[in-house]
Structure 1
Amino acid sequence: MDTKILVLFYGYGSIVELAKEIAKGAEEEGAETRIRKVRETLYPDLIEKFHVPLDSTKDIQEVNLEDLKWADGLAIGSPTRYGNMAGGMKTFLDTTAPLWRSGDLYGKPVTFFTEASTIHGGHETTILTMTTYAFHFGMIIVPLGYAIPEISSTNTGGSPYGSSHLSSKKDLDENEIKIARFQGKRIAQVARKLKGS
């Protein structure tokens, strides 16, 4: 049986690049992947004021609840907003009550990723804010720990909590890519074991 991994994100720029690297890692492990985005919830005047690059994700489909049901494992990512997940991600997660009632996500593994513009900008707290949903759904949280040396040697992005990016740098660096790929492989491995294939 094929292992199916959903990589779900809100945002633009480096969070999208992290999502793609996580998906590549899962695919290297033999998983089938879907990358999906969360709908933009900013007011139109703020989209214009902040120059939100909506076109940069136009080729990525918006997520729906069927995508979550389809997946054997999930990777969920959001940029930090004052140490918390972005409102767009929270708005989407708040719509998943039907899956909570049906138990469709119970026992599925999930891992988290983020980006922030400063080293102490809330990478770890943002991941922690997303994990509360996993507790309520009875999901299995899959952290990275210190299984690869890049987590101990990076001063930009990535921790035992999950992959991340220091977005004051434009591009993902080598360590960030390795950590994201490892995260994709790890969620695919855990999902496969739990699925029993």
Structure 2
Amino acid sequence: MSDSYILVLYYSRKGATREMAQLIGRGIEAAGLEARLRTVPPVSATCEATEPVIPELGDIYCGEQELKSCAGLILGSPTRFGNMAAPLKYFIDNTSSSWLNGDLIGKPAAVFTSTGSMHGGQESTLLSMMLPLLHHGMVITGIPYSENALHETQSGGTPYGASHISGTHHDRNISAEEQHLCTALGKRIAELAQKLSH
């Protein structure tokens, strides 16, 4: 494959979504592709505020070329009132050149999220994150029920994508089932990317 990496593009505020991205990355690399973890800068209500070119901590910001050249995309965000967080939405809203060029058409994609409570909008967030990917012509996949963790989870994990219930104070560890579903999702996208490239 000429584009041998899967882009795991996420926004994380409290750290849980970033931890999920790392687990997804392990699944991608277990399937033989590079996992390229990238984030997006926060948005500010103060127009003059600017973010550094390179964040002080964590993964670096995603560049336009990295999005265009990926073999597949896995998009992650915490839930904000049943939708993706504004920084990720802002990034996606500015991908019109990739859309015009058809850069992502036919590439596999998936989504993941972290929420504070069991019914905090995780599934609606996952579904809303799929919408721009459909406009980009991507091949969206979820997690099949052949993954037993979907049957066993008492917290996060859905057929729409990986999810985590972080708790009201965002102090809940990612459960064994949630971890398994994150790595399974990464592996699934990497395997699909390899199949679709032939």
TM-score (norm 2): 0.89
Amino acid at match of 1:91: Y
- Taking the TM superposition and a 5 Å limit, the aligned residue runs for 1:150-169 are 150-168=149-167, 169=171
Alignment of 1:2-41 (within 5 A): 3-12=4-13, 13-41=15-43
Aligned to 1:179: 181
The structure-2 alpha-carbon separation of the partners of 1:154 and 1:57, relative to structure 1 and needing over 3 Å to count, comes to: farther
Within 5 A, what are the aligned runs for 1:31-110?
A: 31-43=33-45, 58-110=57-109
- 1:150 to partner: Cα distance: 0.4
**Aligned match of 1:50:** none
Note the residue ranges of structure 2 that are not aligned, 5 or more in a row.
Answer: 47-54
SS in 1 for 2:24: helix
- Structure 1 residues 171 and 57 mapped into 2: Cα distance closer, same or farther (>3 Å)? farther
Q: Structure 1 unaligned runs (5+)?
A: 45-55
- 1:8 counterpart SS class: strand
Q: Normalising to structure 1: TM-score of the pair?
A: 0.90
Task: For residues 125-164 of structure 1, give each alpha carbon's deviation from its aligned partner in whole angstroms, at most 9, with x where no partner exists.
Answer: 0011111101111110011121211011102111101111
The answer to whether the aligner puts 1:120 opposite 2:119 as a matched pair is: yes
Deviations 1:155-195 (A, max 9, x none): 21111011111011432111111000000000000011001
Q: Please point out which of 181, 187, 193 is paired with 2:195.
A: 193
Aligned residues: 185
CA gap of 1:194–1:57, structure 2 versus 1, over 3 A, is: farther
> 1:33 offset after TM fit, Å?
1.5
Query: After TM superposition, which residue ranges in structure 1, 4 or more long, deviate above 3 angstroms?
Result: none
Distance in 2, matches of 1:70 and 1:64, equals: 10
Contact 1:145 1:159 in 2 (8 A): no
